[in-house]
């Protein structure tokens, strides 16, 4: 699932950066590197991505790996610093820390994509298994939780808001 997740995010990043004039040189490496920490912690096939301890651990492990990779490829230091910081906090919304995603459009857009993965066919099937939901329950989950920070500002761009609507329509056809 992780490879498909990253590949999907890369496609979305390329498009949103064009449409929203966002810095692809930060958002693309973040999409590629954000979950690398999982590789050191667990068997991805059996991971429960909703486990709080696993989320924290993968972010911390990801920081070290991302720093190493960015340094090895001589990525600009100023951009590397931002990317690494985003890897460090990219799932903090799960712990109630949401203001950073509202205040920073780039990080907020990344959060949108990371979350919207569960609306894709592959992501939905994978998360449905993790959550042990039947089709009706999974569809209700998708309908009732439009974003991890839906109470404040659910989407950072019109592109990600529209993406959710379109993917939800697809899942409604498949899951009904």
C-beta atoms surrounding 73 within 10 Å: 9
Report pLDDT for 22: 97
Please give the distance of CA 84 from its chain centroid, rounded to a whole number.
15
What's the whole-number mean pLDDT along residues 132-141?
96
Report pLDDT for 1: 61
* Integer Cα distance of 51 and 28 in angstroms: 26
Structural domain for 71, as ranges: 2-175
2 pLDDT band (50/70/90 cuts)?
confident
> What percentage of the chain carries pLDDT values higher than 70?
96
> What percentage of the chain carries pLDDT values higher than 90?
78
CATH of the domain at 31: 1.10.3210
Q: What is the pLDDT of residues 141-170, one digit of tens each?
A: 999 987 888 777 789 999 999 999 999 999
Report pLDDT for 146: 79
Report pLDDT for 42: 63
Report pLDDT for 154: 85
Report pLDDT for 12: 96
Q: What is the pLDDT of residues 36-71, one digit of tens each?
A: 998 887 665 566 777 888 889 999 999 999 999 999
Q: What is the pLDDT of residues 4-22, one digit of tens each?
A: 999 999 999 999 999 999 9
Q: Is the CA virtual torsion 167, 169, 173, 176 positive or negative? A: positive
Nearest residue to 145 (alpha-carbon basis) of 171, 176, 119: 119
Length of the chain: 176
- The number of domains in the chain is 1
**What are the structure tokens assigned to 84, written together?**
């690494």
């Amino acid at each position: 699932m992780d490879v498909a997740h990253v590949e999907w995010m890369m496609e979305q990043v390329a498009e949103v950066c064009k449409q929203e004039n966002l810095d692809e040189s930060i958002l693309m490496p973040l999409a590629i590197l954000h979950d690398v920490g999982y590789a050191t912690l667990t068997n991805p096939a059996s991971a429960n991505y909703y486990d709080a301890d696993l989320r924290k651990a993968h972010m911390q492990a990801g920081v070290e790996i991302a720093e190493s990779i960015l340094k090895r490829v001589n990525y600009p230091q100023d951009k590397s610093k931002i990317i690494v910081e985003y890897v460090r906090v990219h799932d903090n919304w799960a712990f109630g820390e949401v203001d950073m995603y509202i205040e920073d459009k780039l990080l907020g857009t990344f959060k949108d994509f990371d979350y919207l993965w569960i609306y894709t066919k592959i992501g939905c099937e994978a998360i449905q298994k993790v959550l042990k939901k039947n089709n009706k329950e999974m569809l209700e989950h998708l309908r009732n939780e439009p974003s991890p920070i839906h109470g404040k500002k659910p989407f950072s761009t019109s592109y990600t808001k529209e993406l959710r609507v379109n993917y939800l329509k697809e899942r409604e056809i498949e899951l009904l």
